[in-house]
Amino acid sequence: MSRASRRAEREAAVSDRIRGLEARVEDAVQRLRLYQMVEGGYIDMDDSPEDRIESLKAEHDSAAAALMRRETSNSAMRGWVGGRQPASKNGAHEK
């Protein structure tokens, strides 16, 4: 398997992971909106949604943090050229 094909597979896996994280964030946001409507009295529900809201907030925060870490990691990886780290301050490449 060539380097280019391995890199393409890694990039595809990263893209899939990012799409999954974005979907988790959006799902949590939509459910939070629903529970906020219930809590605000716009929609009636038999059980108190407070526990569910806290759980969804935690899920949202976790997915958003993972997405941010992934985006930061991807930005750092774009700086690598030819398998080497970007030049250091003195102009030499580090390995």
Q: What residues pair up with 84 in beta bridges, in sequence order?
A: 81
- pLDDT value at residue 9: 92
Domain that holds residue 8: 3-78
- pLDDT value at residue 13: 92
Helices (H), the chain: 3-39, 50-78
72 lies in a domain? yes
95 lies in a domain? no
7 lies in a domain? yes
91 lies in a domain? no
9 lies in a domain? yes
83 lies in a domain? no
92 lies in a domain? no
Q: How many structural domains comprise the chain?
A: 1
Calculate mean pLDDT across residues 30-44: 81
Calculate mean pLDDT across residues 33-40: 82
Residue 76 CA, chain-centre distance (Å), reads: 15
Predicted confidence band of residue 22 (pLDDT cuts 50, 70, 90): very high
